[in-house]
Amino acid sequence: MSKSTDLIHAANRVPASAKPLTLPIVETTTYVFDSAADVVAYNEGRSEKFLYTRYGNPTVAAVEESLAQLDGAERALLFSSGMAATATTLIGLLEAGDEVICASAIYGGTLHLLQDLLVRFGIRTRWASAADLTSLGDVIGERTRVVWFESPTNPTLRCVDIRRVAEACRARGVVSVLDNTFASPLNQQPLALGVDLAMQSATKYLNGHSDVTAGVVAGPAALIAKVEKARRLLGTILDPAPAYLLGRGLKTLAVRVARQNATAQALAEAMSRDARVSQVYYPGLASHPEHAIAQAQMSGFGGMVCIDLGGDFDRAVRAFDRLKVITRAASLGGVESIVSLPVLTSQWGYTDDQLRAAGVTKGMLRLSIGLEEVDDLLADLNQALG
């Protein structure tokens, strides 16, 4: 062959003897088949080969397998973001005329997806209070197909009796989906508590280094197949390179979460004794309204802490602007401690009624605890509070 032809094909010859220690990044758009019969076998579901990276990729599939094991699920799917996971799951499970019951205390992106976008396609949403979630049997209607909720909630860290919600959904043939982002599977196992699908923004604790945007949904194979069909059509699968970084982040998840749990507990206890703070929200505090529920369904209470400065937005802004070690940023779950004002980030665009329904005030600071020394974080909060 000519040199130009050889150059194109020689670079694709991987030595059969290579056995890498870490997961390879298979950065290809398409895959080679040996015959037409192989393509037919793939199309009929009789082959484990890959066709096209929008459908699946070996690097992505390897990380999905790890995530499925982590959640105790039959299968898991990776997406290009947490919102991609949420949107694709809902589109895969719903059709025009269907109803979603969604908790009022929910991430703002989920609220706007349901309220502003999916409603245009004939999908109706009913918002459920904490009281509604405790008596779902009376709330679920004839057209209800999905119940979507969080526990702990963003940003107030209120806890829902997950098993009770799951049982009510199962009794009525409704799919329950829990956004488990705040807890992570190391602190809480939704599927073991009876939930049908566990969703997370893998951007947060799973990756843990603030350098990957991704989402994941895990659950039984039959339900995941519906979501996977929607993912193929929408093209919301995660790229192999960030999938590799996510897989690398998972290797330190256990040690990171253990440290974040311990630091968050110490910080929450200290803030609860500070007269400048009117309210501290953390499931590990005995004063937390659902502390007993959290103890029953969580093995650790997480790295998120929310403090309220009397509902006073100006006070919250002053403290926010003074922080020096804790970084002002959105998102959460990384090795760096960060702070956000929920009314300017996760709950931006909420009406006053929606804020009240979610239990959010304008004086709240949401803290994502990283891996710094607890004394450094406490000193920073002390000087910021003035």
What three-state secondary structure class fits 44?
coil
Write down the catalytic residue from 179, 196, 308, 380.
Answer: 179
Contact predicate 373/265, CB 8 Å: no
**Do 330 and 345 contact (CB within 8 A), yes or no?**
yes
What is the rounded CA–CA span in Å between residue 49 and residue 47? 5
54 is catalytic: yes
Task: State yes or no: is 380 an active-site residue.
Answer: no
The 3-class SS string of 194-253 reads: CCCEEEEECCCCCCCCCCCCCEEEEECHHHHHHHHHHHHHHCCCCCHHHHHHHHHHHCCH
Determine which one of 31, 38, 42, 54 is catalytic: 54
Contact predicate 236/88, CB 8 Å: yes
Residue 356 falls in the annotated catalytic set: no
From 204, 315, 362, 366, active-site residue: 204
Residue 104 corresponds to which tokens in the numbers above?
């009022």
107 is catalytic: yes
Cα(238)–Cα(249) distance, integer angstroms:
15
Of 232, 180, 205, the closest CA to residue 73 belongs to 180
Q: Determine contact, residues 104/128, Cβ cutoff 8 Å.
A: yes
Q: Which two tokens stand for residue 354?
A: 């929606």
- Burial of residue 13 (number of CB atoms within 10 Å: 0-12, 13-18, 19+): exposed
Longest CA–CA span in the chain (Å) reads 80
- Interhelix angle for 240-250 vs 58-71, to 10°? 30
- How far apart (Å, rounded) are the C-alpha atoms in residues 75 and 69? 8
Catalytic residue numbers read 54, 107, 179, 204
